């Protein structure tokens, strides 16, 4: 079946502009995660959704970052007034946690964001 998809695959934007990154999880997966991957920094947790609600948004770096999930499916990560330090690969993952806390996360290919 279809995996996790993300769009766009690459995004180049000018400093100060807003960007929206999209994630389509695997159908039926209740949990959705956003991570940021920077060189040498590993995977930085940003936010996690269970259904449409976000029980943990502790990883969002600043109030310029926000995310929403609608219909228990698609999620959008929005970065306002982008800065050069926002340049990174943004990864989305989904997981089916119904009754299984240790469920595997399935990752999308990522969106490479470059802020010039």
Partner 1 sequence: AQSVTQLDSQVPVFEEAPVELRCNYSSSVSVYLFWYVQYPNQGLQLLLKYLSGSTLVKGINGFEAEFNKSQTSFHLRKPSVHISDTAEYFCAVSRPTSGTYKYIFGTGTRLKVLA
The C-alpha angle with vertex 66 and arms to 73 and 97, in degrees rounded to 5, equals: 35
- At 9, give phi and psi (nearest 5°): -80, -35
Residue 73's nearest CA partner among 94, 101, 98, 57 is: 94
What's the DSSP call for residue 86? G
Is there binding between residue 51 and partner 1 (CB under 8 A)?
no
Q: Is 76 in the site for partner 1 (CB under 8 A)?
A: no
List the structure tokens of 14.
């000018």
| Shortest reach from residue 23's CB to partner 1, in Å | 12
Verify binding: residue 55, partner 1, rule CB under 8 A: yes
Binding mask of the shown chain, residues 16 to 45, with x at each position contacting partner 1 by CB under 8 A: ---------------x-x-x----xxxx-x
Which CB atom, from 13 or from 105, has the smaller least distance to partner 1? 105
Q: Should residue 104 be labelled a site residue for partner 1 when binding is judged by CB under 8 A? A: yes
Residues 6+ away with beta carbon under 8 Å from 9: 109, 110, 111, 112
Residue ranges binding partner 1 (CB under 8 A) = 4, 31, 33, 35, 40-43, 45, 48, 50, 55-56, 91, 93, 95, 97, 101-105, 107-110
């Amino acid at each position: 079946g279809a995996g996790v998809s993300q769009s766009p695959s690459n995004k180049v934007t000018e400093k100060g502009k807003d960007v929206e990154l999209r994630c389509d999880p695997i159908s039926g997966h209740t949990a959705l995660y956003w991570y940021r991957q920077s060189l040498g920094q590993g995977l930085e947790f940003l936010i996690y959704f269970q259904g449409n609600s976000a029980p943990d948004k502790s990883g969002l770096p600043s109030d310029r970052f926000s995310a929403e999930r609608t219909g228990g499916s698609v999620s959008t990560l929005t970065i306002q007034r982008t800065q050069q330090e926002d340049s990174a690969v943004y990864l989305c993952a989904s997981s089916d946690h119904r009754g299984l806390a240790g469920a595997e996360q399935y990752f999308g290919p990522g969106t490479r964001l470059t802020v010039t």
